[in-house]
Amino acid sequence: MKPIDTHCHLDFERFDDDREKVVERSKKELEFVVNAGSNMETNRKALKLGERYP
């Protein structure tokens, strides 16, 4: 059974250079992740990330 990350912010700029690698590693090591937005803008970014990386 893999763990679940219930709160992350993969939409943050600090992940711009390696987001693909972080997502791929997460897919291997975690059951799923919840990318939490903190306002309307970041909620939209979180939704787009969910569409891009189902």
Tell me the per-residue pLDDT of 11-54, one tens digit each, with 9 for 90 and over: 999 999 999 999 999 999 999 999 999 999 999 999 999 999 98
Structure confidence at residue 54 (pLDDT):
87
Number of structural domains in the chain: 1
CA distance 15 to 22: 8
E strand or H helix at 41 = helix 40-52
Structure confidence at residue 38 (pLDDT):
93
45 within 8 A of 37, measured Cβ to Cβ: yes
Domain boundaries, position 14: 4-52
